[in-house]
């Protein structure tokens, strides 16, 4: 998952964290939501090409 609010929202909606971690029940994603939100604010304030470096990304789809 990227530190992108859209990716995070999709993962929450699909309940991907519980399946990925093989956890039964509801997974508390509150701290991760705060981190994604903070990361999103950091990258918007620095502008394109500045701030945090991003590595290679791959489509981690299940289909």
Number of structural domains (the chain) is 1
> 23-61 b/e with 16+ CB inside 10 Å = b?
eeeebeeeebeeebeebeeebeeeeeeeeeeeeeeeeee
In terms of Cβ atoms closer than 10 Å to its own Cβ (0-12, 13-18, 19+), residue 6 is: exposed
Is residue 51's pLDDT more than 60?
A: no
With respect to residue 54, please indicate whether it lies within any of the assigned structural domains: no
- Whether residue 9 lies inside any domain: the answer is yes
Q: Are 16 and 22 in contact (CB under 8 A)?
A: no
What percent of the chain is modeled with pLDDT above 90?
A: 35
Domain assignment of residue 18, yes or no: yes
pLDDT range class, residue 13, cuts 50, 70, 90: very high
pTM, entire model: 0.58
Is the pLDDT confidence value at 17 over 70?
Answer: yes
């Amino acid at each position: 998952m990227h530190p992108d609010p859209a990716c995070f929202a999709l993962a929450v909606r699909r309940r991907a964290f519980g399946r990925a971690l093989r956890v039964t029940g509801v997974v508390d994603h509150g701290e991760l939501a705060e981190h994604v939100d903070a990361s999103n604010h950091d990258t918007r304030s620095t502008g394109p090409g500045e701030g945090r470096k991003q590595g290679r990304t791959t489509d981690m789809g299940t289909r």
